Structure formats: structure tokens, C-alpha cells
Amino acid sequence: MFLIVAWITYPPLHAQINVSNQLNTIPENFSQYADFYIKDVTSHQGFAYLNSFSTTGRVLGQWELDFSLKLGSGLSQELFAPEFGENFQLTGGMPTLFGTEEPGKLYFQFLDEETGVPIVNPFSGEIIGFGLPLFPGLGTSLGFSPAVMPVLSLGIGYGTEISFGILPGAIKLVTNTIASDFSINKDITTTFGIRHDVFYWLPALHDRKFNLSLGVQYNFLNLGASIGPDLIGNIDQPSSDKFEVAYNLTGLTYKSSSMGFEAILTKKFGFLDLSLFSSYNQIHYQVNSIGGVEVKVAKSFYSNIASGYDTYSFNELIKVDQKVNKFIFGLAMQFNLGRFNIDLKAAPFSGHYYALGLGFQMLKEK
């Protein structure tokens, strides 16, 4: 109070508010939030695709051809809430993509860098900062990562099988009505893999209907989405004469590539293949925003009418680049009914990954 006026007379010595440094923390913190928001999908979807790809250790014979529809799902777990920096405070709810509650706001506020206390507008007493609105949730009760893929598999001889699946536009088809002002522009998912039955070389086991396939699989997903202004609420600007903050976020891109190494040990009992499996998988996903946020800060707070602004643009408001590794193991069953087969696969102990497959053997050895 009193000596503040002394600092007016004599140069200030202590406290600093480095506007640029403090504002520059916005993308990092908002990216943490964005990663949290979609992590139910991003950190599991690749595993769901890979896990649903093969459901028995028995590989196709030479020139046998199988067409399957694979359905997989990863149930979300181990979601870590972001730890925002000192300049940020969350008010209200922070739903995930599947969340049900109303989204709140992530408040940015300038802090005095020595004491850590937020500063206020000297004339209005309001915190000098603004609230960025958060994304709404879909309103479901369950967070999960779906995976759908038609797969063609071909036996190429010597106990070896190659598989390939591709599905363009499926996510766009099922998500375009989930929210206003949100649309998928493009999406393509592809998976391919190769595996070999080791017991092919061990007739003693192979003849007793044991199989041990070792395979490698790769999944790639590329998605682009548009976001309109109605999806996101208004920016809260209590000290609006000291700030002009505007979202220019128009879209998101999402790329995910996953690779897995899988071993499946199978024993065939009549029409039933019973298997134990384990796999080591890695997802690498990247999420980037198209556009971001622009902040104009008044050059002086000691004027009731701002006489000018400095502009700070953050066009990469969201930049997420994460890798997730996971070891999965579980049980699988395949029911073989003539040329048809039904597959079930579950990895309940090392995550929550489930798969269902419906297959038809188009070409079969005689």
C-alpha cells in the first residue's frame, strides 16, 4: 500500500510480470487438457485394432483365403488428469470425450512472479486473465475405443499368412451427427500383418493340432475434423478492456500408428480353437489443432481506456505427441462351422481389450 508509492518514486526492484513468458504456457497446458479429453480413444484404439486382428494361432494353408469382419474395443482405464501450471485454474467440469457433465472453463491469470499471487485490474479489482471454454462430452457413461475392420487373410504356404484391412470413411459415417459444429472431413484406417506358425516345422506338435503363431501387425489411422464456433462456448473475459481474446480454432488432425508383436498358442478341439495369446504393442499418436487462440493485451493497465494492444498468437494451441506401450495377454476362442468362423478374444487382465470376429473362408484347401 504505502511503499508501493515509494516504488512509484523509486524504480521497482522485485516483482515481474513477463507477459510473453506467461502467455506462452497456454499451448502446453491446453494441449495437456486436449490429450486428457481424447485419451479414452487415443491411448487404446490402436491396441483394440491390433488385438482384434488375429484370434487363433492356426494359420491359413497355402492359397486359402479368408474374409472377416473384426470388431474390437478397448475399455478405458488409467486416465491421468492434467496438472496445470500455476497460471491456470479450472472452474466447473472437465468432461472427457465421453463425459456427461457441463464443460467449465480453464482460466488463465497473470501472476506476480515473485509472490505467485494473481494480479488484479487496479480499477475494477477483477483478476487479470480470461477463461478458455472446454469441449463438451458426448454424454455417454462409458469410455471406450471402438475398432471395426474388414480383413482379408491369405495363406502363402510354409505356415505363413498375410492379412490386410482397410476402412475409409467409417468414422465420418458414424460420428457426423454426434455434435453440432463438429464434422469429420476425412478418416482412413488400415491394418496389415504377417504371421508364421512355428509348429509348422514341428510335425509332432502340429499333427496333434497345436499351433504357435508369431506375428507382427501394424495399424495406421489418419483423421481430420472441422470445429465450428458453436461447439465451443464463449471466452470469459472479465477484464475485457485489458484483453481481447479470440478462438480461431477451426479443426483438428489426429494420426495414430500402432505396431504389435503377438504370439498365439492354440490347441484345436474339434470345431473349437482354444488359444492363449500375448502381445507387445506400441501406439504413437499425434493430435494437432488447426488454428488456436489470439490474445491482445493492453499496453497499459493504468488507463481506463486501453490505448493500444500487443498481440500474441498461438496457432498451435494443441500439439500432442505421445507414445503408449502395453503388454497384453489373454484368451481366445474360434468356433469353426464349415467355412464360417466366429471369434472371441479377451485381454481382461492387462487392460480391457475385447474382440469379436465373423469370418468366411472364401478359398479352402481340399
Partner 1 sequence: MKTTLQKPATWLLLGLGLIFTSCHSDILVIERLPSSYDANLFMAVYMTEMDFKEGTNVIPHYYQDQSFYFVFDTLLHFDNDWDYWDHQVAPVQNKGLFFDVRNKEGYSTWSKPWLTLTSDNGIYLHDEYTPATDGYDYFFQWSGALMTPPAYLHLCLNSWDENPTGQVPSKTWKVTRIYDENENDLTTDPDWTNYEDNVVTFEKGTRFILELGNKRSQKELDLFKDESSVFGTYSVSKAGEIVSLNLVFPIISGNSNDNNPSWMSKLTVVSSSWTSLSLKGELAGKKGTLELVPIN
- Applying the rule CB under 8 A, the residues between 85 and 144 that interact with partner 1 are 88-96, 98-101, 104, 110, 112, 114-125, 128, 137, 140-144
- Minimum distance of partner 1 from residue 74's CB (angstroms): 9
Which residue in the block uniquely carries the three cell numbers 491359413? 60
Measured from the CB atom, is 73 or 275 closer to partner 1?
A: 73
Measured from the CB atom, is 124 or 222 closer to partner 1?
A: 124
Measured from the CB atom, is 351 or 357 closer to partner 1?
A: 351
Sheet holding 309-314, edge to edge: 243-247, 293-298, 309-314
Closest CA to 260 of 193, 196, 199: 193
* Binding to partner 1 in span 303-342, by CB under 8 A: 310
- Minimum distance of partner 1 from residue 132's CB (angstroms): 13
The DSSP string of 118-185 is: BPB-TTT--BSEEEEEPPPP---S--EEEEEEEEEEEEEETTEEEEEEEEESHHHHHHTTSSTTEEEE
Measured from the CB atom, is 128 or 167 closer to partner 1?
A: 128
The one-letter code for the residue type at 83 is E
First to last CA, the chain: 95
Among 27, 46, 57, 82, indicate the residue that binds partner 1 (CB under 8 A): 82
- Minimum distance of partner 1 from residue 72's CB (angstroms): 14
How many residues bind to partner 1 according to rule CB under 8 A?
Answer: 74
- Minimum distance of partner 1 from residue 315's CB (angstroms): 19
- Minimum distance of partner 1 from residue 243's CB (angstroms): 11
CA distance 152 to 146: 20
* Binding to partner 1 in span 339-358, by CB under 8 A: 348, 352
- Minimum distance of partner 1 from residue 316's CB (angstroms): 20
Under 8 Å CB-to-CB from 281, ≥6 apart: which residues? 46, 47, 50, 51, 258, 259, 260, 261, 325, 326, 327, 328
Measured from the CB atom, is 113 or 316 closer to partner 1?
A: 113
Site string for partner 1, 5-44 (x = CB under 8 A): xxxxxx-x-xxxxxxxx------------------x----
- Residue 105 CB: number of other CB atoms within 10 A? 20
Length of the chain: 366
Q: Beta strands 182-197 and 65-75: pairing type?
A: unpaired
Measured from the CB atom, is 205 or 346 closer to partner 1?
A: 346
> CA 54: distance to chain centroid?
23
The one-letter code for the residue type at 111 is L
Measured from the CB atom, is 226 or 350 closer to partner 1?
A: 350
- Minimum distance of partner 1 from residue 289's CB (angstroms): 21
CA distance 233 to 246: 11
* Binding to partner 1 in span 230-249, by CB under 8 A: none
Measured from the CB atom, is 48 or 297 closer to partner 1?
A: 297
- Minimum distance of partner 1 from residue 60's CB (angstroms): 30
Measured from the CB atom, is 118 or 224 closer to partner 1?
A: 118
- Minimum distance of partner 1 from residue 272's CB (angstroms): 20
- Indicate the SS3 state at residue 112: coil
Site string for partner 1, 47-76 (x = CB under 8 A): ----------------------------xx
Q: How far is CA 207 from CA 199, 201, 322, 329, 336, in A?
A: 9, 11, 45, 26, 18
* Binding to partner 1 in span 251-310, by CB under 8 A: 297-302, 310
Contact, 27 vs 87, CB < 8 A? no
Q: Give the CA radius of gyration of the chain.
A: 27
* Binding to partner 1 in span 176-215, by CB under 8 A: none
- Minimum distance of partner 1 from residue 119's CB (angstroms): 4
Measured from the CB atom, is 81 or 362 closer to partner 1?
A: 81
What is the grid cell recorded at 243? 484483453
